[in-house]
Structure 1
Amino acid sequence: MAISRNIFWIAFFASILAAWWWLYSMSLSMNMDLMGRMSMENSMSQMSGDGDIAPMKGMSSFDSMNSGRAMSENTKEVAMPAMSGSMSMDTSITNFLPLAGMWTVMMAAMMLPTMVPTLRSYEDLMVSADGTRIGWLGVLLGYSIVWIGFALFITAVQKGLLSFNIVDMMGKAKSMWVSASLLMLAGAFQFTRAKEVCHGVCHSPMSYFLGHWKTGLNGGVRMGLSLGAYCVGCCWLFMVLGFAGGVMNFLWMGLATLMMVLEKLPQLGHFLVKPLGGILILSGLSVVAFTII
């Protein structure tokens, strides 16, 4: 029994690590840094090969700035495919299916860690309430289905924002005013009744299970769907904040994941909701001040 339990948990955490690794590998393939910005240094290193475009020792500054002399024909042959490859990668990520795949993996990386207290609570009831490992998997499946649905929805939102030229191809808002508004909106939501209700379920899964207990795979899926819906209601604006800093910004992904994990800790989360809201509002106001100044 203990061995079986450990295998499931190892697989669970391995899937989280795999999701983060996939996102990191994807950012590297797109020549992006950890802030989700295109890395000119990486692009230039691909283009330079063995240093063909670097100024030769003793060359005058005028000559080093002269593109006709500084770049050989061989270097151009290397540079152009590298540049076109990067552009094709940028274009492909704006297509619906690749973009939906990216968001789905991002949901796994960011939201599965927040589910640990829920799955632990279910395990505590596996003996006393006739729970089963298949029911445990059902809860996980139902929860995942909801977040995959949200991934498809936010993919459509990003496509719409891109078509209206509100965000760039990396999903980052082109206007600082939009970024500031998203931060303040996310902060204000922390003080609403909707947040209070959804968070009340998310950070106290044991109470939910005791009031809505269902056995077997179907029962687990139904509870997982319900818990996933509350979780989306609680955290959706944290995900939307990706448009403020860029959806491939690892700083945003890490901070958002940390905030959502801390919020759902049974003994601590209730005390963090409003302070986090205040921090987000102040962050938005800081962006406004920076924009004006």
Structure 2
Amino acid sequence: MRGPHWLALFALILAAWAALYAMSIPADLRAAGRVYGADFWADLCNLTPDAAGFVRMTLMWALMSASMMAPTALPAFATYEDLSHTGAETRIPALVAGYLVIWLGFSVMAAGLQLALLRNGLLDPFGSSASAALSAGLLAVAGAYQFTPLKEACLSKCRAPMMFFLQHFEEGAFRNGVRLGAVCLGCCWALMLLGFVGGVMNLGFMALATVLMVLEKLPDIGRWLTRPLGVALLAGAAWVAITGI
């Protein structure tokens, strides 16, 4: 992985994580919000249920997507560049741009969902679940999705990117990036939405989720992780539903 385009990509990932760190909410501030209630959140002018709040939510989800999903696609990006050794023309910046277009679209939809949940009192203004039913439901959906044929089909393409790119190489780098982004979205959308459970601006949760999604796409490790992770998520859903925590 050499060249200015790789340096730019790594810089993008680091910048996204740095921005998320700057936007993250300290634990003591979250604790204060639980003590002082809704008025405390309103006074801080954080993520409000209006147009300005929607823009901030979209930006936040876009940063999350860039920081969490780009690392999971690094092996695929490197594989695409390896095709240049065959004499084929490869453009990594165009590939990455197409990939990020898909995740920008996801960010808009996730922000819309967050806004709707916030307006209905199911999330606090920091994007964390305020409802045990919502938490249990999201965990159950994510857990069940781990066992679906669609999840397996998307993972199989992520784990064998060379075959994936060879099938569509003539379409060009940008469209291949869009295809890769769509496949990656098919792998990870349910796990990404668990941000509402673990905390949208919780760096610890985001780091753990990123590691899990990276490992899940590795051929030798991922096949041992997908279903046990599904079991763990379903068990978590049952625990939350029973205890109300």
Scaled by the length of structure 1, the TM-score of the pair is: 0.75
What code does the residue aligned with 2:55 have? L
Q: Distance in 2 between matches of 1:164 and 1:227?
A: 34
Structure 2 counterpart of 1:95: 53
Q: Distance in 2 between matches of 1:251 and 1:175?
A: 21
Deviation at 1:39, TM superposition (A): 5.1
Q: Distance in 2 between matches of 1:118 and 1:205?
A: 5
Can you list the C-alpha shifts for 1:222-254, whole angstroms capped at 9, x where unaligned? 111111111111100011111112211122211
Residue identity in the other structure for 2:5: F
Displacement of 1:129: 4.9
1:6 matched to 2:3: yes
Q: Note if 1:124 corresponds to 2:82.
A: yes
Give the distance between the partners of 1:84 and 1:155, measured in 2 at CA.
18
Give 1:220's aligned residue. Answer: 173
Report if the CA contact (8 A) 1:179-1:244 is conserved. yes
* CA distances 1:123-159 after superposition (whole Å, capped 9, x unpaired): 2111215133xx2221111001000011011111111
Matched, 1:273 2:229: no
The answer to whether the 8 A contact 2:49-2:115 is kept is no
SS at match of 2:209: helix
Inter-CA distance 6–39: structure 2 relative to 1 (3 Å threshold)? farther
Does the Cα contact within 8 Å between 2:46 and 2:126 map onto a contact in 1? Answer: no
Q: CA deviation at 1:170?
A: 1.4
What is the aligned partner in structure 2 of residue 76 from structure 1? none
8 Å Cα contact 1:117/1:264 also seen in 2: no
Displaced runs of 4 or more, over 4 A: 83-86
Unaligned segments of structure 1, at least 5 residues: 42-82
Equivalent residue for 1:206?
A: 162
Hey, what's the Cα distance between the residues in 2 that align with 1:92 and 1:290? 29
C-alpha distance in structure 1 between counterparts of 2:115 and 2:242, whole Å: 29
Confirm or deny that 1:255 pairs with 2:208.
yes
Q: CA deviation at 1:37?
A: 5.6
AA aligned opposite 1:104: A
Q: 2:144 aligns with which of 180, 188, 201?
A: 188
CA contact (8 A) 1:92 1:98 kept: no
Alpha-carbon shift at residue 15 of structure 1 (Å): 1.3
Q: Distance in 1 between matches of 2:114 and 2:101?
A: 20
Indicate the structure whose relative CO is greater, using CA pairs within 8 Å and at least 6 residues apart. 2
- Could you tell me the TM-score, scaled by structure 2's length? 0.88
Distance apart, 1:186 and its partner CA = 0.4
Change (3 A) 1:269 1:37: farther
In structure 2, do the counterparts of structure 1 residues 152 and 190 end up closer, same or farther at CA, with 3 Å as the change threshold?
Answer: same
Count of equivalent residues = 238
In structure 2, the partner of 1:70 is none
Opposite residue 164 of structure 1, the aligned amino acid is N
CA contact (8 A) 1:122 1:131 kept: no
| CA RMSD of superposed structures (Å) | 2.4
Contact persistence 2:127–2:200 (CA under 8 A): yes
| Cα 1:180/1:190, change in 2 over 3 Å | same
